[in-house]
């Protein structure tokens, strides 16, 4: 079946190019045009013979396509807002219905997006703005983008309206930001209005058309602000919610965390396991700086898991950080296979964990292990010996002994933390599997 994805642009009545017009004019009564009621209304100037359907939930769409094809449809037109492949339905269709294994073929017909229209209304260059889609996504996703000297263009939904965005600016320490609400772009009732954060949080705040794009300017020439959210790796320990408060408790400390982030060397699209994640220092930082990677944090301790969940929300990494309540290695059974693994806690199961994880890693995969106790260091050394015998890994190891400045009786001193051994194993061969360590 042929799937045509047509962008409708920013107008009350759409103007289509000749290719898109030809698609519509060649539809038969058995074919389908799929979209929201508002999108169907914009096609009033273009006649077609196909059946009109309302776009269902995406989880139901594959079954619907099969149903329509069985009923005789050879073409389905999916109506999209603006550019279907820029935060639109097109990307989802491409992931699910493209490729050699699919019986469907996809064609795209782009148009002007609401993001482009908003930028042109305000005279902002597209390359100078940062686009964040909150449509169908948690509002907390905005947090990692709330930095000083930013121009953000936000795609919104009913849960991310101007007042809610203003409240996020206050929480980020950016309460002097300017918000511009672009409503009903392309319609007769179009409005572009400028507000301060205080304006939008006042009791007398105006109402808005639900069809809006919000622009956030976090700084101007006379309003330079600083965000509470990190702008560089190495989030301070006291910024995390922990089981003992004040950045103490079960969390990988900042200096050690920086080394782990560097050695793991995440790439876009990587899947990472953080085993024994504690309160989430490592997994939150990995997810925060690598939004296109998938981080899976495994933790069985209920109180630490609650802290991890709080940190996931605090730093806005709900989209690409998944929490697994359970004890490894049993909790690893049904997880997607990793490209990188960090073992920060093993509950006495370190040998078994390293053996199991090593077999899961692909060629070039990375396993990083943290060891503090002498028992864990011994198990780590034995694993290293096995890797040497198998000749299937490149190893890098470092021991960190961090001492931090403190005061005693008004005098400065340095209080040492326990030394931490970090070992990185990069898989260079998949020919030999490790034998389980029974010692």
Residue 98's pLDDT is: 81
Tokens of 25: 């004019």
State the pLDDT confidence band at 224, using cuts at 50, 70 and 90. confident
State the pLDDT confidence band at 333, using cuts at 50, 70 and 90. very high
Distance CA 104, CA 243 (A): 51
Is 342:328 a contact under the CB 8 Å cutoff? Answer: no
Tokens of 23: 């698609």
Residue 221's pLDDT is: 59
Flag whether pLDDT at 439 surpasses 50: no
Distance CA 114, CA 104 (A): 29
Please state the pTM of the whole predicted model. Answer: 0.88
Tokens of 187: 């319609």
Q: Apex CA 92: angle with CA 88 and CA 94, to 5°?
A: 110
Tell me if residue 342 falls in helix, strand or coil. strand
Work out whether strand 393-400 and strand 294-299 pair parallel, antiparallel, or are unpaired: unpaired
- Average pLDDT score over the chain: 92
- Which of 26-35, 217-226, 354-363, 426-435 shows the lowest mean pLDDT across its residues? 426-435
301-309 long-range contacts (CB < 8 A, ≥24 apart) are 301/250, 303/243, 304/243, 304/249, 304/250, 304/277, 304/278, 304/279, 307/240, 307/241, 307/242, 307/243, 307/249, 307/278, 307/279, 307/280, 308/277, 308/278, 308/279, 308/280, 308/283, 308/284
Across the range 127-150, mean pLDDT stands at 94
What structural domains does the chain harbor? 2-112 (3.40.1010.10), 115-217 (3.30.950.10), 237-427 (3.40.50.150)
């Amino acid at each position: 079946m042929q799937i045509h994805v047509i962008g409708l642009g920013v107008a009350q009545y759409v103007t289509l190019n000749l290719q898109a017009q030809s698609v519509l004019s060649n539809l038969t009564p058995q074919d389908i045009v799929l979209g929201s009621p508002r999108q169907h209304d914009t096609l009033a100037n273009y006649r077609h013979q196909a059946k009109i359907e309302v776009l269902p939930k995406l989880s139901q769409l594959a079954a619907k396509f099969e149903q329509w094809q069985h009923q005789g449809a050879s073409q389905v037109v999916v109506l999209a807002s603006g550019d279907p492949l820029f935060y639109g339905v097109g990307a989802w269709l491409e992931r699910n219905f493209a490729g050699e294994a699919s019986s469907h073929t996809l064609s795209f017909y782009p148009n002007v997006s609401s993001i482009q229209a908003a930028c042109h209304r305000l005279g902002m260059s597209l390359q100078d703005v940062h686009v964040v889609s909150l449509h169908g996504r948690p509002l907390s996703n905005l947090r990692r983008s709330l930095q000083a000297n930013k121009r953000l263009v936000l795609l919104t939904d009913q849960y991310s309206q101007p007042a809610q965005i203003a409240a996020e600016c206050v929480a980020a320490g950016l309460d002097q930001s300017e918000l511009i609400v672009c409503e009903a772009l392309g319609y007769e009732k179009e409005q572009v209005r400028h507000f301060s954060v205080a304006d939008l949080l006042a009791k007398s705040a105006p109402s808005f058309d639900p069809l809006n794009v919000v622009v956030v300017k976090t700084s101007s020439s006379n309003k330079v602000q600083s965000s509470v959210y990190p702008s560089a790796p190495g989030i301070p320990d006291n910024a995390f919610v922990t089981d003992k408060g004040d950045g103490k408790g079960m969390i990988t400390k900042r200096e050690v965390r920086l080394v782990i982030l560097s050695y793991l060397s995440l790439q876009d699209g990587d899947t990472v396991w953080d085993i024994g994640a504690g309160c989430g220092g490592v997994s939150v930082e990995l997810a925060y700086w690598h939004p296109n990677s998938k981080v899976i944090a495994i933790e069985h301790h209920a109180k630490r898991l609650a802290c991890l969940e709080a940190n996931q929300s605090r730093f806005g990494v709900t989209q690409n950080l998944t929490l697994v309540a359970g004890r490894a290695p049993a909790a690893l059974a049904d997880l997607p296979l990793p490209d990188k693994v960090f073992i920060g806690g093993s509950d006495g199961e370190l040998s078994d964990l390293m053996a199991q994880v090593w077999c899961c890693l692909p060629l070039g995969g990375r396993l990083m292990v943290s060891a503090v106790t002498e028992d864990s260091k011994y198990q780590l050394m034995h694993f290293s010996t096995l890797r040497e015998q198998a000749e299937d890994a490149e190893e890098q190891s470092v021991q960190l002994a961090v001492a931090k400045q403190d005061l005693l009786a008004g005098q400065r001193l340095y209080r040492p933390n326990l030394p931490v051994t970090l070992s990185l194993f990069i898989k260079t061969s998949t020919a030999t599997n490790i034998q389980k360590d029974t010692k």
